[in-house]
Amino acid sequence: MTDVIIIGGGLNGLVAATWLAQKKFSVLLLERHDQVGGAAVTTTSARGFKTPTLSHSLGPISADVVRALRLDRAGVEFITPDPVLTTFGSDGHAITFHRDHVLTAASIGGVSARDAANWQPFVQTMQKLAGVLDAINQHPAPSIDEPGAGDAWRMLQVGRRARALGRRDLARLGRYVPIAVADLVSEWFETDLMQAAIASRAVFGHQMGPWSAGTGALLLQRMAEDPMPVGGGVTVKGGPGALTTALASIASAAGVTIRTGARVAQILTRGDAAVGVMLESGEELPAHAVVGAIDPKQLYLSLVDPGALPPTFRQRVQQIRARGVLAKINLSLSGGPVFPALLGDDVPLRGRLLFAPTIDYLERAYDAVKYGRMSEHPWIEASIPTANDSDLAPPGQHVMSLYVHYVPHSDSVSHEGLLSRALDVLRPHAPNLDSLIVEREVLTPYDLEQGWGYSGGHIFHGEGALDQWWISRPLLGWAHHYGSPLSGLFLAGAGSHPGGGLTGQSGLNAARAISVALGRRRRA
Amino acid sequence: MPQQYDAIVIGAGHNGLTAAAYLARAGRKVVVLERRHLVGGAPGPEEIYPGFKYSVCSYVVSLLRPEIIRELELARHGLEILPLDGTFTPMPSGDYLWRTNDHAQTFRDISRHSRVDAEAYDEYGRAMVEMGRFAKPILGMTPPDPFSLKLKDLKPLADIANRFRKLPDHDRYNQLQLLTMSAVDFLDQWFETDVLKATMSASGIIGTFLGVKSPGTAYVLLHHYMGEIDGAFRSWGLSRGGTGMVSESIASAARAGGAEIRLDCSVSKIMVSNGRASGVVLENGDYILANTVLSSVDPRLTFQKMVGEAHLPDDFVEDIRRYKFRGSSGKVNIALDGLPDFTAMKGVGPHLRGAISISPSIDYMERAYDDAKYGQFSKKPYIDIVIPSLTDPSVAPPGKHVMSCFVQYAPYDLRNDDGTPADWDDHREAFGDAVINAIAEHAPNIRDHILHRQVLTPLDIERTFGLSEGNIFQGELTLEQLFFLRPAPGWADYRTPVKGLYMCGSATHPGGGIMGAPGRNAAFVAMKGR
């Protein structure tokens, strides 16, 4: 009998599967689509454009995961774009962020000397603070009911990290966790463009605005994953799917059996134990353990019979807030878009492009979704992957990927309306864009839910609010062992600690916890 | 001729008076210096329009600490709390929601909207009481300084964490949620009726620059829930004679203990020599000496104006500059020659004796906040109305009434449509009109009965009461400036970088809301000395 069935062949599922297989568990990975990858997929369009259907950047992959799975030897060519991002103001100004902080400061200096001077100190301070969260992320959350020696040891490590900050920065960390990111950025920068560029990173993917409390913590979370405050935009040659394809090879080499086109309909239980799964086809697959590397609400509410879980647990899972607000637009372009604000310089197009000119702009965009409506003036992050990887499209042609905020989770959102608003935002900055579009694909949060199982269309499997984080992710009392009231049923997706975007850390943390749990069961 | 005291208290608001009363009882020679012509600070009673006593600023009592009422024998000094029974919410449809202390009546009324909610209401009340019990000791303690990383400071936090761990499962879950969720999200988990959630969520945004859907407002719900009147958690009341009687009774207790209170006595500077407080200089040039000075006014006034940044460490100066006020409320006090007649419940009745809440829906509440974010006062504001004359006839002539309206949102930083800063003095009347219009939508006769109205904008509140930016709690009640972060990291225990100078107002833990706790806690810290 299979030791472990893993539901979901996204990044976390592949990481968990590979790690467990390397520890000599027999693993079967079930993916409902025809290709693995989850959010990290490359799809070839009708006209042959290789599109990053969902995510156009990776977390980046956590160093812990790279080490544990020897990803550096996987034959994957990571692309670290430089410059990383350019943000466009409404007045023709633009700021370009480079990996080199001196170049970045020079670009900021075109808008504000004071902000330029504060850039490096800001980055350094935030990286120091984020280091404490990184220490928290790398390990499972402690058990709050029965903290063990391991938990105490790990908390001590975090404490040491915190202490090393020194008094001033420790106080700063204490303030920055609950603060609204708009307040945080205004302590460092005076220009709208700088403030909004950083604030947008904090609110990315969540139903929050820059004035929402707790968005300071979200910025720190993003920086714990990726030291660039505006995000590094790390990707892979061949598109994000090349990574997951390579991972699938490593998984298979380690002994994982991967079945695609295999959608799980139900988790089979006997008493208070999970004993396997049943596919939509009716085929039953027994296993000692079942791991959902999928959205927690999908796992516990859709795949498990209601009677099999205690009502309180079920109710709390239902109450997990997962309100998706991000829509994805994929465009195939017959030529290169031109941005006059870049004054003929093509180099910034290697990085992502941000259209979020002021804090008020972000907040007004957010206001709409509170009332269930699409932002009249959305903010957009765009990527042109072909700028770094021309093989993704026919020669001279381009792929363009847009993240659009804020779009409500509703099946009545008009795809045409959404595309139209997005293009309205881009048109003043790239007047020739409309004429280049030969293919388009629009995915609303509702589409994300229907197509890929994100509850509410939330790309992080649940809001990164402070009460849905760490010891409360996915639920208070259940975070530490990635398990559930059903023995043998585990969660390994982004809905478990630490969550986050395409780092693989949740899968790795979960795999480690699961192997301990299974090891115990074996001995018992 | 300089006079010498053991302690000077700046500001005769309820916190300053409380601090003075405790110091006096301990045998210290205390003088309280008040800029205005009457005691009271924000609770003060005033006869602005002859014959009518407005509770100019605050209007209800609930959070005044029972130990203070007991220890200072405030009842003997004239404090009498009359129960404020219920909250009545009229709806545009002509329907209403009416909750009172009568359990059966409340159950019936909520049932009209939703039977499920009526049952959940009791459970919710019980859960909030439990959470109040957990939070109560935290309210009463002097915050530790965790950034010192010393055991003596980390231990209280470890104790709190342990108490948290040991809570029953559902209480633990609720407690964490309360700390970070929005009021609406939290209430959504309990109730389905929109007008019920809207009215209940209102207490989550009182005095804050946040909306009912903003994360962090569920916490403020609990803050307001922790009131105790005669032992009953949460019930709110009116002080007989107006809320000013709260301060009057504390002043009386202070005087009985030997404290001196001087009115029309404005402090210009706190004297500092060699890092120690040595007394104050008044606006008229007089000196008063003391080695202990307690300031109940907010940190901006205390440190930027009275002490002067030159005497303070750079880090502290930065922290105080960063401390956020963000006034968001206004007040409209009205003298009436007749009672408002609400379309939703016509005539004079007990529903007028409690609070009347203009909070018909969650969207209404949230839109009121949205206006303020961009520098406008709410076109359709949230209003919390009390007609104290129905319970306490002493505040108005016979047959006439006082109506007290607490309004949100009125942003201190008002802006014109083009985004440029606007002057509140030019918009005071328009704001007052918006409030009257909002009330008139539910009680059309109101306009016919107005004898006089007093409109207080955030700028007025700042000028009159010394509350910076018109923030009624001397600073936003948001997590990054609460508990051990209030008003600044490392300085949350009522002490300041100036030896002998203490903070005792709402800008210290546990924050604002006529609790008296800052005053009491600070007095004890000051008595221990350094």
> Mind listing the pLDDT tens digit for each residue in B200-214?
999 889 888 999 999
**More confident call, A150 vs A3:** A3
Residue A489 clears pLDDT 60, i.e. is over it: yes
CA distance A276 to A498: 26
Q: Which residue of A has its CA nearest to B181?
A: A467
Mutation target to probe the B interface, by most B beta carbons within 10 A, among A219, A466, A478 is A466
pLDDT at position B59: 66
Query: In terms of DSSP bridges, do strands B450-456 and B501-503 run parallel, antiparallel, or are they unpaired?
Result: unpaired
Evaluate whether B222 touches B215 at the Cβ level (below 8 Å). Answer: no
State whether B478 and A213 contact (CB < 8 Å): yes
CA distance B287 to B283: 10
- Min Cα–Cα distance to chain A from B202, Å: 17
Looking at chain A, the number of H-run helices and the number of E-run strands are 17, 18
Using a CB-CB cut-off of 8 Å, the residues of chain A touching B475 are none
State whether A472 and B374 contact (CB < 8 Å): no
Using a CB-CB cut-off of 8 Å, the residues of chain A touching B210 are 213
State whether A467 and B181 contact (CB < 8 Å): yes
State whether B147 and A167 contact (CB < 8 Å): yes
CA distance A141 to A479: 6
State whether A476 and B173 contact (CB < 8 Å): yes
Give per-residue pLDDT as tens, B64-90: 778 898 999 999 998 888 878 899 999
The mean pLDDT of B365-377, rounded to a whole number, is: 97
Evaluate whether A174 touches B146 at the Cβ level (below 8 Å). Answer: yes
Q: Which residue of A has its CA nearest to B318?
A: A187
**Mean pLDDT in chain A?**
95
State whether A467 and B370 contact (CB < 8 Å): no
Q: Which residue of B has its CA nearest to A165?
A: B147
State whether A216 and B480 contact (CB < 8 Å): yes
Half-sphere exposure (Cβ direction) of A397: Cα atoms closer than 13 Å: 18
**Mean pLDDT in chain B?**
90
- Min Cα–Cα distance to chain A from B322, Å: 8
Give per-residue pLDDT as tens, A167-200: 999 999 999 999 999 999 999 999 999 999 999 9
Give per-residue pLDDT as tens, A133-144: 999 998 889 988
Using a CB-CB cut-off of 8 Å, the residues of chain A touching B170 are 312
Question: B115-140 and B217-225 are packed helices; what angle lies between their axes, rounded to 10 degrees?
Answer: 80
Evaluate whether B526 touches B9 at the Cβ level (below 8 Å). Answer: no
Q: Which of A171, A178, A371 sits opposite B479 (nearest CB)?
A: A178
| pTM metric for this prediction | 0.94
Quick check: bond before A60 cis, omega within 30? yes
Using a CB-CB cut-off of 8 Å, the residues of chain B touching A370 are 213, 366
Report DSSP letters for A142-175, one per residue: PPSSS--HHHHHHHHHHHHHHHTTHHHHHHHHHH
The mean pLDDT of B405-413, rounded to a whole number, is: 97
Q: Which residue of B has its CA nearest to A363?
A: B373
Q: Which residue of B has its CA nearest to A213?
A: B215
Least confident of A290-304, A453-467, B220-234, B269-283: B220-234
Least confident of A31-35, A160-164, A395-399, B412-416: A160-164
Q: Which residue of A has its CA nearest to B316?
A: A168
Evaluate whether B138 touches B483 at the Cβ level (below 8 Å). Answer: yes
Give per-residue pLDDT as tens, B182-203: 999 999 999 999 999 999 999 8
Backbone φ, ψ for residue B452 (5° rounding): -160, 145
State whether A465 and B189 contact (CB < 8 Å): no
Residue B58 clears pLDDT 80, i.e. is over it: no
The mean pLDDT of A151-158, rounded to a whole number, is: 89
The residues pairing with B440 across neighbouring beta strands, listed in sequence order, are none
CA distances from B478 to A180, A200, B47, B63 (A): 10, 21, 34, 19
Mutation target to probe the B interface, by most B beta carbons within 10 A, among A370, A406, A471 is A370
Least confident of A282-296, A342-356, B140-154, B244-258: B140-154
Q: Which helix (H) or strand (E) holds B194?
A: helix B194-202
Using a CB-CB cut-off of 8 Å, the residues of chain B touching A171 are 147, 485, 489-490
pLDDT at position A73: 83
Q: Which residue of A has its CA nearest to B215?
A: A213
pLDDT at position B230: 39
- Percentage of chain A beyond pLDDT 90 is 90
Q: How far is CA A35 from the centre of its chain?
A: 19
Q: Which of A144, A180, A316 sits opposite B165 (nearest CB)?
A: A144
Q: Which residue of A has its CA nearest to B322?
A: A187
State whether B490 and A167 contact (CB < 8 Å): yes
Q: Which residue of A has its CA nearest to B488?
A: A171
Q: Which residue of A has its CA nearest to B190?
A: A319
Q: Which residue of A has its CA nearest to B214?
A: A212
Evaluate whether A62 touches A225 at the Cβ level (below 8 Å). Answer: yes
Using a CB-CB cut-off of 8 Å, the residues of chain B touching A472 are 176
Residue A500 clears pLDDT 90, i.e. is over it: no
- Min Cα–Cα distance to chain A from B326, Å: 12
Using a CB-CB cut-off of 8 Å, the residues of chain B touching A214 are 180, 215-216
Q: Which residues of A touch B (CB under 8 A)?
A: 144-145, 163, 167-168, 170-171, 174-180, 183, 187, 208, 211-214, 216, 312, 316, 319, 321, 360, 363-364, 367, 370-371, 465-467, 472, 476-477
pLDDT at position B1: 55
Residue A150 clears pLDDT 90, i.e. is over it: no
State whether B480 and A175 contact (CB < 8 Å): yes
Q: Which of A179, A211, A321 sits opposite B185 (nearest CB)?
A: A321
Across the A:B interface, residue pairs with CB atoms under 8 Å apart total 87
Using a CB-CB cut-off of 8 Å, the residues of chain B touching A174 are 146-147, 480, 484-485, 489
State whether B479 and A176 contact (CB < 8 Å): no
3-state helix, strand, coil in chain A (%, to 5): 40, 20, 40
- Min Cα–Cα distance to chain A from B164, Å: 9
State whether B490 and A179 contact (CB < 8 Å): no
**More confident call, B174 vs B30:** B30
Q: What is the ipTM of this complex?
A: 0.91
- Min Cα–Cα distance to chain B from A277, Å: 31
A21: tokens are 């297989």
CA distance A508 to A67: 11
Using a CB-CB cut-off of 8 Å, the residues of chain A touching B213 are 370
pLDDT at position B88: 97
**More confident call, B241 vs A344:** A344
Mutation target to probe the A interface, by most A beta carbons within 10 A, among B174, B213, B409, B479 is B479
Q: Which residues of B touch A (CB under 8 A)?
A: 146-149, 165, 169-170, 172-173, 176-177, 179-181, 185, 189, 210, 213-216, 315, 322, 324, 363, 366, 370, 373-374, 478-481, 484-485, 489-490
Using a CB-CB cut-off of 8 Å, the residues of chain A touching B185 are 321
Query: In terms of DSSP bridges, do strands A94-97 and A235-236 run parallel, antiparallel, or are they unpaired?
Result: unpaired
Residue whose token pair is 């401390």: B323
- Min Cα–Cα distance to chain B from A64, Å: 29
Evaluate whether B407 touches B329 at the Cβ level (below 8 Å). Answer: yes
Give per-residue pLDDT as tens, A239-259: 999 999 999 999 999 999 999
Query: In terms of DSSP bridges, do strands A352-355 and A379-383 run parallel, antiparallel, or are they unpaired?
Result: antiparallel
Q: Tell me which amino acid residue B192 is.
A: E
Q: Which of A163, A177, A316 sits opposite B149 (nearest CB)?
A: A163
Give per-residue pLDDT as tens, B314-350: 999 999 999 999 999 999 999 999 999 999 999 999 9
Residue whose token pair is 């959070």: B63
